[in-house]
Amino acid sequence: MSTRSLNILLTGGTGYIGSHTAVVLQEAGHRVFIYDNYCNSDPAVAQTLQKITGQPFKTIEGDIRNTDLLQKTLETNHIDAVIHFAGLKAVGESATIPVEYYANNVQGTISLLQAMQAASHRPRTLVFSSSATVYGDPQYLPIDESHPTAATNPYGRTKLHIEEILRDLAKSDVSWRIACLRYFNPVGAHVSGLIGENPNGIPNNLMPFVAQVAVGKLKQLNVFGNDYDTPDGTGVRDYIHVMDLAEGHLAALNYLGAALAAEVVTNTETQTHTGLHTFNLGTGCGYSVLEMIQAFEAASAKAVPFLIAPRRAGDIASCYASTTLAAEQLGWTAKRDLKAMCESSWHFQQKAAASAGSNSNTTAGA
């Protein structure tokens, strides 16, 4: 099949998932452009990405709500496809400042779509970062893509609203090719240890919290509940290595036919997938909080002291993905195991802790 290398814009590309995806795309021969306002990332990440891949990355500082700048960016760089990572993502915070979440995530996405519609070369390929949180409390497991959606917090509802907008857009204009990727629980880091997840302040998510306890930055972990209906009573989640997740984006772009040479697109319609397509990106395996602690202790050779604490409001017992659709349609499955997730996370955490004077937040620019 004849393919070409693409100019791909990553909104939020210096963040945790975007930065790892930038490496995968660049290494696959595409040209990556990063558009970020750095509200939750460090501009130095671009240099780190260059260090990892040996190739320069063009970065544009801007807010996704700046439609004119986005349109100019799309046109100047002749962008073929956009992967839309930019957004606010803290569930708890979204309940405190919902208007900011809707403004940033929903309004920001509308602005991006307007810019893509206005761009003279008509870029129509989009991959969107959705989330397993759109499923709410699962009615059955594993969760497949036709499971009913019922987000239980403002953050999740921003993702659902955006999915609806994208569905309407794809129906209104058949030239759009859109993939909504519903991520399960991304963890781990690039093998270099130079990029990874290093949130500002006290982490909300399990894995960065465990890593910071192991490295001695935090004293102990609170395990939120051990009375769930799960094998050991603690919450079960589908943790996926961020590099597997990153590779899922490349698979989605290929599925949409983004990289097919123009003449192939014209001559062989069946090789592209227009419309909106939704995929879970997970491993299909669930691990409990206690299993995660044990795996991290083994990978780091450090103790992770913990206390059993009350359940966290809004938490569910178990959540893991059906991976069948992504395997069948995208030809993608997660390959890296729990050991690799914990080892890479530990490697990154050690480097981040050692990197004196680093003022990184979500992604370290070590």
CB of 79 to ligand NAD, least distance (A): 15
Binding mask 211-230 for ligand UDP (x = CB under 6 A): ----------xxxx------
Residue 129 near ligand NAD by CB under 6 A = yes
Q: Is 156 in the site for ligand NAD (CB under 6 A)?
A: no
Of the residues 155, 183, 239, 255, which is catalytic?
A: 155
Q: How many Cβ atoms sit within 10 Å of the Cβ of residue 14?
A: 32
Over the window 68 to 107, marking each residue x when it contacts ligand NAD by CB under 6 A and - when it does not, the resulting string is -----------------xxxxx--------------x---
In 10 A of CB 326, how many CB atoms? 25
59 binds ligand NAD (CB under 6 A): no
For ligand UDP, the closer of residues 177 and 237 by Cβ is 237
Q: Select from 62-70, 224-232, 292-300, 330-338 the region that touches ligand NAD (CB under 6 A).
A: 62-70
Question: 238-250 burial, b if ≥16 CB within 10 A, otherwise e?
Answer: bbbbbbbbbbbbb
Using the 8-state DSSP alphabet, how is residue 9 labeled?
A: E
Position 320 contacts ligand UDP (CB under 6 A) = no
Q: How many amino acids of this chain bind ligand UDP (CB under 6 A)?
A: 14
Please give the sequence-ordered ranges of beta strands (E in DSSP) within the chain, or none if there are none. 7-11, 31-36, 58-61, 81-84, 125-131, 177-183, 185-187, 221-224, 236-237, 239-241, 275-281, 287-288, 306-309, 318-319
Check: CB of residue 290 under 8 Å from CB of residue 224. no
Rule CB under 6 A: is residue 156 a binding residue for ligand UDP? no
Instruction: For the CB of residue 233, give the shortest distance to ligand UDP in the complex, in Å.
Output: 11
Tell me if residue 155 is catalytic. Answer: yes
Q: Residue 259 has which token pair? A: 């990289």
> Is residue 180 at the binding interface for ligand NAD, with CB under 6 A as the rule?
no
SS (H, E, C) 162-186: HHHHHHHHHHHCCCCEEEEEEECEE
What x/- string results for residues 16 through 55 when contact with ligand NAD is judged by CB under 6 A?
Answer: xxx-----------------xxxxxx--------------
- Within 13 A of 83's CA, how many CA atoms are on the CB side? 36
Pull the structure tokens for residue 306.
């913990």
Examine residue 298 and tell whether it contacts ligand NAD (CB under 6 A): no
- Closest by CA to 142, choosing from 302, 358, 320, 348, is 320
For residues 74 and 171, give the distance between their C-alpha atoms in angstroms, rounded to a whole number.
23
| Distance of alpha carbon 93 from the chain centroid | 18
Under the binding rule (CB under 6 A), the answer on residue 144 touching ligand UDP is no
Q: Which residue, 319 or 330, is less far from ligand NAD as judged by CB?
A: 319
Residues that bind ligand NAD (CB under 6 A): 11-12, 14-18, 36-41, 63-65, 85-89, 104, 108, 129, 131, 183, 186, 362
Residues in the site for ligand UDP, rule: CB under 6 A? Answer: 185, 204-206, 209, 221-224, 235, 237, 289, 312, 315
